[in-house]
Amino acid sequence: MELKTNFTLYRRMLGYMAPHLHLAVLGILFILLFTVSSSVGIFTLKPLFDGILTKSKADLIQSEKNATPGHAMTYAREFGALAYSEIVQVVRREKGFKQVKNEFGAHFNGYLRTGSVSSILMLTVFMIVAGVGVKCFSEYSKNMFFLRLNLRIMKRVRMDIYEKVMGFSMPFFNEYKIGFLMNRIINEVGIMQSLIITTASAMITNIAQVLFFFVILIVMDVKLTLILMLCFPPLVYMLDKVASYLKGFQSRLQNLVGTIMSVVQETLTGIRLVIASNKQKYEVQRYEKAVDEFQSVTKKLSKFDFLAAPLSEFVTTIIGLGIVVYALKSRVMNPESSMTSGDFVVYVAFMFSMMRPIKALNSFLVSFQKGMVVAGRVYDILDRDPIIKNSDNAVTLTEFKDSIEFRNVVFSYARDKQVLKGINLTIKRGEIVALVGSSGGGKTTLVDLLPRLYDPDSGEVIIDGRNISEYTLESLRDRMGVVTQETILFHDTVRNNIAYGSPAASLDDLRKAAAVANALDFIEELPNKWDTIIGERGTLLSGGQRQRLCIARAVLRNPDILIFDEATSALDNESEAKVQEAIDNLIKNRTAIVIAHRLSTIRRADNIVVVDNGSIAETGTHDDLMKNDGIYKRLYNLQFRDRAWG
């Protein structure tokens, strides 16, 4: 059952070849040509042995004296005429295959008995040169076709999984660590791609060689070849057991690769804290622990992985030697047998040549089992449906006209703990609504429901009278601009960071957006102005400058609804003042939802909503809430008392 499942999965992987089938077909044709040309060198052993090496020196000298000019060409013409005649008679069913084989053999053996050393050597050299030439050409050609196929499929596989990951919403990313996803997208997809092309190419080549050599051996001696074939099933069985054992280790190994990448990603992302806290040694130890565990599993896996090749080598050698001894006694030393010394050498050479691709196929079986573990993990993502996606009849939200409404919204990250408990809230177009409350109360979760980063467990989020699930995700999110405490910037130019999400924006558009965000002055003072690289996550800028770039990005999108999530909480007073001015410029004539711990920033809000432990505790203006002896007044007094003490 497991083998059937693996091959079903492998057929899915081979489906990536379908658009490029012409490259695969051409590659396979050159594999067949490579296989046939590879056997030419073995065939030359017969004329060398029967025509030269088994003759006495006197016979060789005499044959050379008796040779007539053009003997080799004369024989070549005779052989060609005979071949044509025999093929015609086989097609007409006037002769059987065995009779034709015997007549060809007798004709060729007659030439080897009477031919001169020079002509036989000439024939041998010609066969070798022609065979090697065709072999080299076909090998180069097959490699080039499979390279082109490889590159095209590699891109498609990588794009498929990356596009799939980009289509998921936050629940998916909460499930996986970034390091594990990076391993799945980069490392494991590379292994899967290698299995599709590299292994498939090697498998086809080896299967073609096994079948071709098997046919030759059958033609040369049916009984001997059937005895040979009966010896291989036990070998395949043993190697299949080894491969099955390796499969479990491979799954653990890939998990550990993900762990190592997670450790590195977390350390480098928080490198400022690591250095400032003097935790470099601790992080090195954490990394070493992950690497040690990886090495331990690799060691166990390798013990069995390395067993496959020598086990195959040993068993096939024993089988080969047994057949050699049997053939010597029953064929070469048997007066009634027609097998010559040259035939015997050719048979043995083909037999051992066939064992090489058989051993390679056995190794492929081991690689196949390990690769299927990785492929299964990749398809685990490719086959997963996004939890949040467009409905079948989704419509486009072209403009926000009236209101946002939360109706009895309930949400939980884990089943046993509700984060939002029956939220009811209405926000009119053009209103500025502030969400305040203690950390962990559910403010950020509430605004995350608007762009459908998450969907509520129950209840509805409604915009302009429609449940937001009825709008297309793209049009819904296009109507919103989000600025968070965590400034999300890329290792790119100022220009490209502001234009992220608005690639068609002109420089004039960028300048206007930067002016609204209070960022134009410092941009113009940068070394390369708009083309200045700002470092990963904007590390070459101050906190206030980074935040103003994010606001400029939001301005450029010209959204109807703005969401500010602690946009000024991490800034000093001077930077906060500049960012707050930028926010004030941005929210004019727009609907804004502002989350803030610093209550001074939201005093001018049209409506202040106090969220406490997942529920709305109070609503009203600043003045109204200060008249009540509630949570807002307590938080406000506590904050300004702390400032007074400071």
Local confidence band at 406 (pLDDT 50, 70, 90 cut-offs): very high
Is residue 192 within 8 A of residue 386, CB to CB? The reply is no
What pLDDT score does 302 carry? 74
pLDDT tens per residue, range 230-257: 777 776 677 666 666 666 666 677 778 7
Is residue 402 within 8 A of residue 429, CB to CB? The reply is yes
What pLDDT score does 231 carry? 73
What sign has the CA pseudo-torsion 388, 389, 394, 400? positive
Instruction: Check pLDDT > 90 for residue 167.
Output: no
Of the candidate ranges 274-278, 303-307, 455-459, 529-533, the one whose mean pLDDT is the lowest: 274-278
The span from the CA of 211 to the CA of 31, in Å, is: 13
Strands 561-565 vs 615-620: parallel, antiparallel or unpaired: unpaired
Instruction: For the beta carbon of residue 545, count every other beta carbon within 10 angstroms.
Output: 21
The span from the CA of 127 to the CA of 124, in Å, is: 5
DSSP 493: B
Q: Which helix (H) or strand (E) holds 461?
A: strand 458-463
pLDDT tens per residue, range 131-163: 889 989 998 998 888 888 888 888 888 888 888
* Greater model confidence, 299 or 600: 299
Q: Rounded mean pLDDT of 53-60?
A: 61
Is residue 377 within 8 A of residue 181, CB to CB? The reply is no
The pTM (predicted TM-score) of the whole model is: 0.69
| Structural domains in the chain, sorted by start | 2-67+115-382 (1.20.1560.10), 395-479+591-646 (3.40.50.300), 480-558 (3.40.50.300)
Strand partners, 458: 410
The span from the CA of 534 to the CA of 543, in Å, is: 12
Strands 458-463 vs 466-467: parallel, antiparallel or unpaired: antiparallel
Ramachandran bin of 301, using left for φ above 0, alpha for ψ from -120 to 50, beta for the remaining angles = alpha
Burial of 213 per CB tally in 10 Å (0-12, 13-18, 19+)? buried
Is residue 608 within 8 A of residue 578, CB to CB? The reply is no
Q: Which helix (H) or strand (E) holds 556?
A: helix 543-557
Instruction: Check pLDDT > 80 for residue 208.
Output: yes
